[in-house]
Amino acid sequence: MSIELKNISKSYGPYQILKNIDLTIKTGELVALLGPSGSGKTSLLRVLAGLEYADEGTILFHGENLTDAPIKKRKAGFVFQHYALFNTMTIRENIAYGLKAKPRRDRPSKKEIQEKVDQLLHLVRLEPYGDRYPSQLSGGQRQRVALARALAIEPHILLLDEPFGALDAKVRKELRLWLRRLHQQVKMTSLLVTHDQEEAFEVADRVVIINKGRIEQVGTPTEVYENPANSFVYDFIGNVNQVRGTISDGLFTTGAFRIPVDTAGQADGIAFIRPDEFTIQATNEQAADRTLSATVTHIHPSGSVIRLELERQDENQNLEVEVTKREFDKLSLSKNQHVFLEAKKVKVFTVN
């Protein structure tokens, strides 16, 4: 089942939280909606589920217009951040709820419901816990129950609202690998809302970056990471050094650092350089143009990647650089040492 969103807008009073959203999700795809909190990503998901209504725009499920359809018609599975399990029911009753709620002619027999529940308990690996109550399970287990409950009604699409947001880091990591495998198994069109880029990149086929109610970029994780469409995405996806400078005559300049850019005319610009996209040199022999001179102020020597903090010599700015352990040893860097940083990859955006 494919999903098409056309020109979706929504406001709460004076605040416009969704601005002309256009998005197509292909059948069987797992798409992550990634954005900072307050970006509108959860609202978009709730609009899809029918838990909110858009002020404007059209929602098509497999070509069928469901913009104004009530929740029931959409046949969406929804997993809430805080589980929303029914506290007064056992795990089995929670999972069976959607099946029992079907109109009589579609409702499976008691035995079929039992079998289905068994099957789902197996799928989420919670067979021994069927007769417990939600309060007796851990957060990760509860979220798996929520997923089983959502899958029970065989939804056409699966919507997950920060499903792992309330869990601790280790469980979160486990569950997202598990979700990835589960998705490969059932191949259901799925939309995952998250503010955690690692999670989005690890799980999703495609990532939608959303900010202030607008889509900033859509692409596969590699595309988005390698080629951020604008300064927001660059900043939001991972760590990045931002070096301010000026653009004139097709050249971005800051201090002694200069590189050619496509932009014509005069403007202020920001160069984005990721910490692992520097080469450190003790002396400035070649490629002087692409080089920043800096002093090492701090070394974080933990793990296979060494993180360095440096201060530029020409400007009062701190830089962050990552080098492999091997390279670090080779250079035998120490605090207060003066080095040259050659930027291997730079992306310059103009500042308006």
Which residues, 173 to 192, sit near other proteins by CB under 8 A? Answer: none
**With binding defined as CB under 8 A, does residue 57 bind other proteins?**
yes
Site map (CB under 8 A) of other proteins, residues 101-140, x = contact = xx------------------------------x-x-----
Size of interface with other proteins, in residues (CB under 8 A): 43
d(CA 238, CA 176): 19
Given 15, 26, 27, 87, the residue binding other proteins (CB under 8 A) = 87
Q: Which residues contact 302 (CB under 8 A, 6 or more apart)?
A: none
Residue 337 and residue 313 in contact, taking contact as beta carbons nearer than 8 Å: no
Residue 144 Cβ vs other proteins, minimum distance, rounded to whole Å: 15
d(CA 287, CA 277): 15
Q: Of 310, 305, 308, which Cα lies nearest the Cα of 292?
A: 310
Residue 38 Cβ vs other proteins, minimum distance, rounded to whole Å: 12
Q: What tokens does 255 get?
A: 């201090």
**With binding defined as CB under 8 A, does residue 71 bind other proteins?**
yes
Residue range at the interface with other proteins (CB under 8 A); choices 23-31, 71-79, 190-198, 287-295:
71-79
**With binding defined as CB under 8 A, does residue 60 bind other proteins?**
yes
**With binding defined as CB under 8 A, does residue 76 bind other proteins?**
yes
Which residues, 272 to 331, sit near other proteins by CB under 8 A? Answer: none
Residue 49 Cβ vs other proteins, minimum distance, rounded to whole Å: 6
Residue 122 Cβ vs other proteins, minimum distance, rounded to whole Å: 20
In 323-342, which positions are buried (b, 16+ CB within 10 angstroms) versus exposed (e)? beeeebeeeebeeebebbbb
**With binding defined as CB under 8 A, does residue 7 bind other proteins?**
yes
Residue 203 Cβ vs other proteins, minimum distance, rounded to whole Å: 22
**With binding defined as CB under 8 A, does residue 97 bind other proteins?**
yes
Residue 169 Cβ vs other proteins, minimum distance, rounded to whole Å: 25
Q: Of 101, 187, 95, which Cα lies nearest the Cα of 146?
A: 95
**With binding defined as CB under 8 A, does residue 67 bind other proteins?**
yes
Residue range at the interface with other proteins (CB under 8 A); choices 46-54, 169-177, 194-202, 318-326:
46-54
Given 22, 27, 53, 314, the residue binding other proteins (CB under 8 A) = 53
What does the angle CA 159 – CA 51 – CA 28 come to, to the nearest 5 degrees? 20
**Toward other proteins, which CB reaches closer, 52 or 322?**
52
Residue 66 Cβ vs other proteins, minimum distance, rounded to whole Å: 9
Residue 200 and residue 222 in contact, taking contact as beta carbons nearer than 8 Å: no
**With binding defined as CB under 8 A, does residue 55 bind other proteins?**
yes
Which residues, 139 to 168, sit near other proteins by CB under 8 A? Answer: 149-150, 152-153
Binding site for other proteins (CB under 8 A): 6-7, 49-58, 60, 62-65, 67-68, 70-72, 75-78, 80, 82, 84-88, 97-98, 101-102, 133, 135, 149-150, 152-153
